[in-house]
Structure 1
Amino acid sequence: MSRNGQGPGRGPADGQGPVRRHDAPPQDTAILVGHFVLPRGASFSAHVHQVHQLLCTARGLLRVRTERGVWLLPPSRALWIPAEVPHTTESAGDAVMLGAYVDPASCPGIDWPEPTVVAVTPLLRALVDHLIRTDLVPEARARAEAVLLDELRPLQVASVSVTVPDDPRARAVAEALRRDPADGRSLAEWGRTAGAGARTLARLFAAETGLGFGQWRERLRMQCAMPHLAAGLPLEAVARRVGYASASSFAAAFHRVVGVTPRAYFPASARGGPGQTPAESRHAAPPR
């Protein structure tokens, strides 16, 4: 991978396919940083790396999928993806993705077996920006790499993934709620349009998603809320869009599902708005 925007493998590609291996070429550094300009909807199809990846964004919202769940990453959060873990990455809006590719031999103390969310502190952001430079002498680069690894702080943040049921009756309900998460109909009311009773739908959701219907809908609402939060919409507006009567009830549900409050996950300094962030203005380059 080069540092001018060309990443491992073929770069952004739409659609899903077989898992591809994106091996980084030999390098004389422990951490190699690349950047990728991703227009809305662009994606990297399923792939693995032979090295660890610290994935974050200078602007916009990224959606990362693995077998273990789905994570949505604003600029305030990054995801540590262990080597050999298959994943897909897509932009939930215009985004600038930053990827730090880490040689496993350089970080024996980081043995996280699963994808792990970390806080993007001002220092971590500055180090990622610093390591994208090509003019660092080896000693300076090694010092910055060591500090970056020391700065990784795991967060207890849950995935917001939801499984869509296979049964066509439950699937119809799930797809309708994905289109309009604010729809507050009960299972009995849904049953009149889905062709199944409330008990049957409840059983199908539990058996095919691993969640009760109420839990499933709540998690879906949090997933649908995240792009709005990243765009900087007021909490009250986001709450109404996903089916909550007040900002406080939405914030309580978000904390219950995700593990932190909306404002903790999307700090004001990381929420969207017009213009480029400093990191984006330095790194933006046309995709290849």
Structure 2
Amino acid sequence: MPVAPTKATEHGSGFHIDRHRHDQHQLVYVSRGVIAVQTEAGGWVAAADRAVWIPAGCWHEHRFHGASVFHTVGFADEDDPPLPAGAPTVVAVGPLLRELLVACTDADLPADEETRLRAVIRDRLHRAPQEPVALPTARDGRLAAACAAAADRLDEPRTLASLAREAGASERTLARLFRAEFGMTYPQWRTNVRVYRAMILLAGGLPVTAVAHRCGFATPSSFVDTFRRATGQTPGVYAARERAG
């Protein structure tokens, strides 16, 4: 497996990095744009206020939404990792950690300075709260079919009962599968999907009202409230930051 690089690159909207893995842990971050990371365990989405931690050996692929500046920091597998080595996760990136990640991936950074920056990055990651906007991958075929049907038509108010009929399961069984595999109810999962999709659409320049409609929110105000609770900022602020970036 290749070494996880520490570098910064720029990518256009829609750019895709094919499925691959590294023999080191890796933190991936976009200081501008949105990145969707897909692994065998599920999908994660992050913008400038979040980074995705990918453990060594984990198969993953990336897709960028909006013009993106992509930063990757590799961590040797033999080191004591600053985040759990068992599964990918999303961590909050505050102003200090952001500047550290940008500086650490500067191609002209001297080696001794990189060593010092890495030590501080490790300290900050130990303290960074985990804030996932994630779509776990279903193992049960019935749950996978129901999730695909709901995600394909977010603008329709699909009930659990209608999804169960389409997936060939009882409503009770499907509800149990959501709790057993995802640790959440169907409405909680659907909210995650809508926020996930909204982040991508906003990064692509779609107006807030249009995003609210496409993601199945009854009103723009309900979309604003849900998005704020999930990400800590309003869709308007998020979109303006993406345009300014």
Instruction: Report the TM-score range of the alignment, normalised by the length of the smaller protein.
Output: 0.7 to 0.9
1:70 has 2:43 as partner: yes
Deviations 1:204-230 (A, max 9, x none): 744766465544433332222221344
SS in structure 2 opposite 1:223? Answer: helix
Q: Displacement of 1:64 after TM fit?
A: 0.8
Go from structure 1 to structure 2 and tell me whether the alpha carbon gap of 1:269 and 1:145 turns closer, same or farther (over 3 Å shift).
farther
Gap runs ≥5 in structure 1: 1-20, 25-31, 278-288
1:38 has 2:11 as partner: yes
SS in structure 2 opposite 1:271? Answer: helix
CA distance in 2 between counterparts of 1:116 and 1:175 reads 22
Q: Which amino acid aligns with 2:233?
A: R
Q: Displacement of 1:145 after TM fit?
A: 2.1
Q: Which residue of 2 aligns with 1:23?
A: 3
- Greater strand proportion: 2
Q: Which amino acid aligns with 1:273?
A: R
CA RMSD of aligned residues (A): 3.8
SS in structure 2 opposite 1:70? Answer: strand
The question of whether the paired residues in 2 share the 8 Å contact of 1:60 and 1:230 is answered with: yes
Q: Which residue of 1 aligns with 2:94?
A: 121
1:61 has 2:30 as partner: no
- Greater helix proportion: 2
Deviations 1:215-264 (A, max 9, x none): 44333322222213445766555333322223453355457xxx744518
SS in structure 1 opposite 2:190? Answer: helix
1:273 has 2:236 as partner: no
What TM-score, normalized by structure 2, do the two folds share? 0.74
1:182 has 2:152 as partner: no
Q: Which amino acid aligns with 1:228?
A: L
Aligned to 2:104, which of 121, 124, 131?
A: 131
Q: How does 1:158-237 map to 2 (within 5 A)?
A: 158-161=132-135, 163=137, 166=141, 171=145, 175=148, 177-186=150-159, 190=162, 196=165, 200=169, 202=171, 205-206=174-175, 210=181, 213-231=186-204, 237=210
Identity %: 32
Q: Which amino acid aligns with 2:131?
A: V
CA distance in 1 between counterparts of 2:233 and 2:48 reads 13
Go from structure 1 to structure 2 and tell me whether the alpha carbon gap of 1:78 and 1:213 turns closer, same or farther (over 3 Å shift).
closer
Go from structure 1 to structure 2 and tell me whether the alpha carbon gap of 1:78 and 1:128 turns closer, same or farther (over 3 Å shift).
same
Gap runs ≥5 in structure 2: none
| Paired residue total | 238
Larger of the two Rg values belongs to structure? 1
Q: Displacement of 1:99 after TM fit?
A: 0.8
Q: Which amino acid aligns with 1:263?
A: Q
What TM-score, normalized by structure 1, do the two folds share? 0.64
Go from structure 1 to structure 2 and tell me whether the alpha carbon gap of 1:59 and 1:33 turns closer, same or farther (over 3 Å shift).
same
Q: Which residue of 2 aligns with 1:12?
A: none
Deviations 1:38-93 (A, max 9, x none): 33333223322111111011321111122333110112211122222222222234
SS in structure 1 opposite 2:242? Answer: coil
Q: Which amino acid aligns with 2:151?
A: R
